[in-house]
Amino acid sequence: MRKIIIIAGPTASGKTSLAVEMAKKIDGEIINADSLQVYKENPIISAQPTREEQQGVPHHLFGYVEGSEEYTVVRWVKDVISKISNIEKTPIIVGGSGFYLKHLIFGLSAIPDVNIEIRQNLRQLHCEIGNEALYNLLKEVDAEVANKLNINDYKRVLRSYEVFKSTGKSISYWQKKNISYFPLTLFSMLVIQPDRELLYNNCNQRFLIMLEQGVLKEVEHLMNKGYNPDQGIMKSHGVPELISYLKGEYSMDEAIVKSQQVVRNYAKRQTTWFKHQFKDSNLDIKFIDSSNVSHIANYSV
């Protein structure tokens, strides 16, 4: 079977340009691994590669999901598997959504689909009773899982509770029954870890470029669509701050400074996550700094 190349790292670290250069050298095609770049309506704020940046290299799973859709890691993994099976060239999976990548590499849990009526009822219940009461309900039926969760991490609390109510078994029971799709030996992962000062400067500059590209109109469109702040498409870093500007709550300078800080914080968390998440596995993984990127483009598979 073909090798599956993964290029990962924090936002604004140069993943796109490295992937394109590598794809041209090894005859590869690029598959998106960014949970925000899947949407159609946010190409600028999610930093989807432009046609010019793609340089004629085939790109997949970018901008193909409606903002109103609920997008999940399960759907992404299945979509990636489908793409890998349908392209003849070397797949190069590129992105910073570590949670998605981890589940592609090590497999998905075998959690059955949750009963839609139970899901809707529990979400309505959460709106009525709040985080703490929902957490206590989970603790009554699954204290082991509840004790591992933050009381305010309502998404994971809600997910754990709905799985129990739908299946009668703890979410941890299902998570132990992982379904793997590829042998671990097929994966070769490159993680870009730029110098911190360079990375932060890239984050700041990228946001200014987004403003020049018209990101305000894009965010205004999202705001006018009436999307819930909790919907995936609204999670791009900088969206809440630019909405606050559009509502007159921030000046433009304040929105820029706050947005850049949010992006830098996210890049820092990504760097830390990738540094520690795979260290105890047998995954073929290499960490590279910015000075090595041009050489790594010649990577052979």
Nearest CA to 25 among 55, 60, 62, 61?
55
Do domains 4-108+179-296 and 116-175 share one topology? The answer is: no
What does the block give as tokens for 73? Answer: 């890691």
Q: Which pLDDT tens digit goes with each residue over 156-212? A: 999 999 999 999 999 989 888 878 899 999 999 999 999 999 999 999 999 999 999
Predicted pLDDT at 55: 97
Q: Which residues of the chain are modeled with pLDDT < 70? A: 290-301
Does domain 116-175 fall under CATH 1.10.20.140? My reply is: yes
Give dist(CA 256, CA 258) in Å, integer. Answer: 6
pTM over 0.85: no
The CATH code of domain 4-108+179-296 reads: 3.40.50.300
Predicted pLDDT at 2: 84
Predicted pLDDT at 113: 83
The enclosing H or E element of 288 equals strand 284-288
SS3 230: coil
Nearest CA to 219 among 200, 234, 198?
234
Q: What does DSSP say about strands 28-32 and 90-94: parallel, antiparallel, or unpaired?
A: parallel
Give dist(CA 267, CA 203) in Å, integer. Answer: 8
Residues 6+ apart with CB under 8 A from 247: none
Please report, for the chain, the start and end positions of each structural domain, with discontinuous segments joined by +.
4-108+179-296, 116-175
